[in-house]
Amino acid sequence: MTTAEPDWQPVLRGTSIHLRPLCADDFEALHQAASDPLIWAQHSVPDRHERDVFRRFFDGALACGGGLVAQDPATSRVIGSSRYYEWNPADRTVVIGYSFLERAQWGTGANREMKSLMIEHAFQWAETVLFHVSPGNVRSQRALEKIGAQLLERTEVLVGDVMSPRHIFAIRRSI
């Protein structure tokens, strides 16, 4: 484990996905990737494909300091995003979430690789990586179970300015 200050906006490269820091100029390309309503059908904000709603999502990703853009490694086209947030140095936890990929990426292994790259990077500082998932987002819950995440609890967390029900999943670093 590294003792240096955590880098929550790294460049991470896999075979099916590349991740890089989100910047303000990414709005149009990322909104294009997010514009399919079916991407958000199981999320707690199912209208996130709408431009004004997506703007709040995007601004939150910029503000958190851990926003990442997912790109197709062959074309560099923006295909989704994810973010690190709520780093807690005292208990060495960080949350990965707000992840989405275009539907063309579903079932390709890109989501698994994105999460694996992010988890491996986080374990340089964190002992536990957490995921906050909406109760109705069965697709994300199953994907997390496939990579070894365990359901810790069902609780409410602050999302925006509203307490919202979430399933909390965790992956702990192997020693």
Q: How confident is the model at residue 31 (pLDDT cuts 50, 70, 90)?
A: very high
Structural domain range at position 163: 12-172
| pLDDT for residue 160 is more than 90 | no
Q: How confident is the model at residue 172 (pLDDT cuts 50, 70, 90)?
A: very high
Q: Does the residue 74 lie in any domain? A: yes
We report the CATH number of the domain holding residue 54 as 3.40.630.30
Mean pLDDT of 143-152: 94
Q: Does the residue 109 lie in any domain? A: yes
Shortest CA distance to 96 belongs to which of 72, 129, 52?
Answer: 129
Q: Does the residue 1 lie in any domain? A: no
Number of domains the chain contains: 1
Mean pLDDT of 86-95: 97
| pLDDT for residue 43 is more than 80 | yes
Q: How confident is the model at residue 68 (pLDDT cuts 50, 70, 90)?
A: very high
> Collapsing DSSP states into helix, strand and coil, what is residue 78?
strand
Largest Cα–Cα distance in the chain? 44
Q: Does the residue 29 lie in any domain? A: yes
Q: Does the residue 2 lie in any domain? A: no
Q: Does the residue 88 lie in any domain? A: yes
